[in-house]
Structure 1
Amino acid sequence: MHGVASGDPLDDSVILWTRLDPSAGLPDGDVEVTWEVAVDPDMAEMVASGAAMAVAALGHSVHVDATGLSADTIYHYRFSLGGYASTVGRTRTFAAVGTQPERFRFAFSSCQNWEQGYYAAYRDLVEQDNLDAFVFLGDYIYEYASGGYADPRGRQTGQDFECETVQQYRDRYALYRTDPLLQAAHAKVPWIITWDDHEVDNDYAGATSENNDDSQVFLARRAAAYQVWYEFTPVRLDPPRGPDYDIYRAYAHGDLIRFHVLDTRQYRTDQQTNEPFLETLGQAVQERDDAKQFSDQHTMLGTDQFDWLVAGVRESDAVWDVLAQQVFMFGGNALPGGDPPVVVVDTWDGYAGERQRLLQAIGVGSTDGADNLVVLTGDFHSAAVGVLRSDPFDAGLPVVGVEFMASSISSSFFDGDAAVAGLVDLALSTNPQL
């Protein structure tokens, strides 16, 4: 019902995933399934196999760490239970650190609102045979009740609730995972996945919900959301036990590329806005307030993740260090003539001090700093490329990296070709870093 998936490859192992259909009369307890890995899609040349538990307390999801594999190798895998065998999935291991692969080809995106369109973008991914991985940057589901996000475009969830409980989040993920193109994309290549806000609650920050709900109530909701995210994700982590869950991690394909996978939601302090704030394109914007947004106490990553990232990049031997994260870092003046700039406070512009400290600490261009820093971004439902400076509004500072922001899978940005064209012209004229 929900297909198969793989993710978080190492040079000798990869995580394999599936989930049993709860409507198929499953027992209350755990269920044992068989998994197999082969070098051929017909599953004739087996190289690994075993038994794994579909854990009832985790929605009968299955997570297998298939170990003992060869580096930089394509494999195929399947699950079976009784007389039923799953779809055969295709995956791969990464090259070993210390080697220098010739190439690595990946795609990335985010934001796949069920009611905002269809998943045709995944057809392109499935039809390509030369991709090594897919990086998903968050908003895998949207938590709203049906019709609660913009205008539905052709299909509705039929779920008249906003997700708050384990069962509600399970129902939402289960619906999304019925999409055949999403299933096919998961079966085609290993995914590296992080979350953004809609896996829990729009624009949440740490223990603060969008609507400033009681923190204990919200943390219970966050715990439910994090658990179900794990249940449906092929991720190299133990299951969460409560509302705190460290998902930041790193994966390298030899010494060619290293992905530093970030969480910009769980540890951040609340967005700093002056009341009343403006809203444009559905985003809270305001004039940059240096006293707030450059405060040492205002953080996007939290201390532990910040230190882990800086150390990881500075110690990396990869040709390319890639930050897989959620909200744009290259900065953006949201209105023409804004001086000081009018910024979107949910992005790195709202956490400008930490952005400056991070880019300086990474040490691009120094003898032991990053050589080629690339930032991957989703969230904004639009595509853009820009250069990175420690302060994006000071063109006299050196460029320290480049950022690629991918369009969404389905979530809408702005209706009307003429309006979009005008917005693009405005963005380029007021933001020379883009």
Structure 2
Amino acid sequence: MSSGDPLADSVILWTRLVPTDPLPADDIAVDWEVATDDTMQNVVATGTGTAFAALGHSVHVDVTGLEPDTRYHYRFRVGDFATEPARTRTFAAAGTTPERFRFAFSSCQNWEQGYYTAYRDLIDQGELDAFVFLGDYIYEYASGGYADPRGRETGQDFECVTVDEYRARYALYLSDPLLRAAHAHVPWIITWDDHEVDNDYAGASSEGDDAVDAFLERRAAGYQVWYEHMPVRLDPPTGPEYPIHRSFAHGDLLRFHVLDTRQYRSDQQRKEPFIEALGPAVQERDEALATSPDHTMLGEEQSTWLEDGVAASTAIWDVLAQQVFMFGANAIAGSDPPIIVVDTWDGYAGERERILESIGAAADNLVVLTGDFHSAAVGQLRSDPFDLSRPVIGAELMASSISSGFFDDVAVVADLVGPAIVANPQIQWFDARRGYTICEVTPESWRATFRAVADPFDENTTVDTISEWQITAGTPGATQV
């Protein structure tokens, strides 16, 4: 049970029927109710949704007619069974400027690489207005493929390809009580990354160079089952093409522009790896390809939508909720062309430069939220990150992963990351521990608090604040507190 994609007068409620015995191959009516109190006494909206058999008996309800900027509670009922009440809220109305907005964000929750302890801590932090999840909700690998021996196994000896296999993986992940509790605690705003379908896929290109028709069939299955399990303000997909980029505003305080950096992107460059130990993901940048107008991360329609949306925004803070880092990273100081992680915006430098110049000029205050890299970081945004003579136009906050690992060996992290940070002054701070980030936003400032899990393989471990940063409205970039 979950809620998401809040507007000023409505919110999406989601559930899925998963009984002990198989369900009939029929649609099933599911009642719902919304109240202003957690005892469900002051009910303000009721109705009946449909658990569609063709969509895994999932239910998506758009509850309308709600009051702006208001906390609500909701539950579902089928026959004599009723769910426990969960919490949600609406966003503030356009034309208003709320005093505060408090949200958290993270990504990447590989079942086999750690427990979901970060969600327990998130709930302990009290009132949140939203949780933003930036992709890799599941991992598609067969059991043990990328497992940590200290973690838990999926027990599913298949890599997800079909609808039934993806459904089995989501059902396993959602069996985790901490993940379910986080969904019940706060409305989510969600996008996907690669592992909801296939590692490092780009457009119609799979990791294993499968035939395009076969991969698009797999992509359609992944997209459908993602929709079946997410509280999103979208119609269900009907094939492998599924636009999910969308925006949400909390009054005139901030606007989230939620991006999809997978479906429309050109294939990553393919050259010999520079650092063999890191594999083909780290290469000398192909300058002609990276700057080609045809080499794209977002695709023409989405990039136009983003630029137009930021230009039309009345928000004090314009926020990109997206997947891979934009602030740039050259693995070898002074290397020209730079040595880059090709799956990031560094591999799509021409489009990054054009988009950041456009939205940087249009936004009053630009903040980019990033996941994917299984580590936390703060960076300065320039249209070319390796040209320090260019002005800083915004700040990038990269939250670490809920459970997915970077390198757990401290010495490896020091050997690899230390020199890279020195070589990249635009990266102001970096930490490889798992966790998430809390942001408290006012009209005057933005404070980001990075929380880290002490031991990802201990469900009862501590979670602590490891760094705090502040962005002052009108001054691009972040400063450590």
Distance 1:279 1:150, change over 3 A: farther
Matched, 1:304 2:297: no
Aligned position for 2:222:
225
User: Which of 355, 376, 383 is equivalent to 2:376?
Assistant: 383
In 2, Cα distance between the equivalents of 1:402 and 1:281?
28
Please tell me the residue identity of whatever aligns with 1:43.
Answer: M
Deviations 1:139-189 (A, max 9, x none): 000000001115343210000000000000000000000000000000000
Say which of 242, 253, 267 aligns to 1:270. Answer: 267
State the 1:23 CA deviation. Answer: 3.2
Measure, in 2, the Cα distance between the counterparts of 1:270 and 1:183.
35
- What is the deviation of 1:22? 4.4
User: 1:318-397 to 2 correspondence within 5 Å?
Assistant: 318-364=315-361, 369-397=362-390
Q: What SS does the corresponding residue of 1:57 show, helix, strand or coil?
A: helix
Contact conserved, 2:360 with 2:366, CA < 8 A, in 1? no
- In structure 1, the partner of 2:400 is 407
Equivalent AA in structure 2 for residue 177 of structure 1: L
CA separation of 1:300 and 1:431: change in aligned 2, threshold 3 A: same
Post-superposition shift, 1:250?
A: 0.1
Deviation at 1:337, TM superposition (A): 4.6
Tell me what 2:458 maps to: none
Separation in structure 1 between the aligned mates of residue 191 and residue 207 of structure 2, nearest angstrom = 20
Structure 1 residues 37, 284: closer, same or farther in 2, change over 3 A?
same
The share of aligned pairs that are identical, in percent, is 72
In 2, distance between residues paired with 1:214 and 1:29?
34
Q: Which residue in 1 is equivalent to 2:172?
A: 175
Pairs within 5 Å for 1:8-23: 8-23=5-20
What SS class does the counterpart of residue 183 from structure 1 fall into?
helix
CA distance in 2, matches of 1:281, 1:129: 40
Following superposition, the deviation at residue 287 of structure 1 comes to 1.4
CA gap 1:41/1:245 in 2 versus in 1, 3 angstroms? same
User: Which one is further off, 105-114 or 271-280?
Assistant: 271-280
Give the gaps of 5 or more residues in structure 2: 428-481
Match of 1:125 in 2: 122
Q: Is the 8 A contact 2:88 2:186 kept in 1?
A: yes
What secondary structure does 2:314 align onto?
Answer: coil
- How many residues are aligned here? 427
What displacement does 1:26 show?
1.8
| Mapped partners of 2:399, 2:256: distance in 1 | 16
Unpaired runs of 5+ in structure 1? none
Q: What secondary structure is seen at the aligned counterpart in 1 of 2:120? A: helix
Instruction: Show the counterpart of 2:28.
Output: 31
How far did 1:281 drift? 4.3
Is structure 2 residue 254 aligned with structure 1 residue 257?
yes
Instruction: Please identify, of 273-282 and 28-37, the stretch whose mean Cα deviation from structure 2 is larger.
Output: 273-282
SS, match of residue 101 in structure 2: coil
Partner of 2:452: none
Among 204, 207, 217, which residue is 2:204 paired with?
207
Separation (CA, whole Å) in 1 of partners of 2:279 and 2:12? 37
| Aligned mates of 1:111, 1:279 — CA distance in 2 | 25
2:423 matched to which residue of 1? Answer: 430
Give the deviation of 1:84 after TM superposition.
Answer: 0.7
Equivalents in 2 of 1:98, 1:250: separation in Å?
16
Instruction: State TM-score, norm by structure 1.
Output: 0.96
Compared CA separation, residues 276 and 120, structure 1 to 2 (3 A):
closer
Q: 247-256 vs 276-285, which deviates more?
A: 276-285
Per-residue displacement from partner, 1:18-44 (whole Å, max 9, x unpaired)? 110143342210110110000000000
Paired residues of 1:122 and 1:185 also in contact (CA < 8 A): yes
Q: TM-score, normalised by structure 2?
A: 0.87
Separation in 2, partners of 1:281, 1:415: 15
**Which residue of the partner structure matches residue 444 of structure 2?**
none
CA contact 1:314–1:363 (8 Å) conserved in 2: no
Match of 2:74 among 72, 77, 92: 77
* 1:78 partner amino acid: R
Match of 2:146 among 130, 146, 149: 149
Q: C-alpha separation between the residues in 1 aligned to 2:50 and 2:398?
A: 38
Structure 1 stretch displaced more, 188-197 or 17-26: 17-26
Q: CA deviation at 1:277?
A: 5.5
Partner Cα separation in structure 2 for residue 128 and residue 277 of structure 1: 43
| Residue 196 (str. 1) matches residue 193 (str. 2) | yes
CA distance in 1, matches of 2:194, 2:131: 20
Letter of the structure 2 residue corresponding to residue 269 of structure 1: S
> 1:92 maps to which residue?
89
Deviation at 1:418, TM superposition (A): 2.8
Q: Which has more strand, going by share of residues?
A: 2
Runs in 1 of length 4+ with deviation above 4 angstroms? 276-283
Does structure 1 retain, via aligned residues, the 8 Å contact 2:3–2:231? yes
Q: CA deviation at 1:363?
A: 4.2
Instruction: Name the structure 2 match of 1:139.
Output: 136
* Structure 1 residue 285: Cα displacement: 1.3
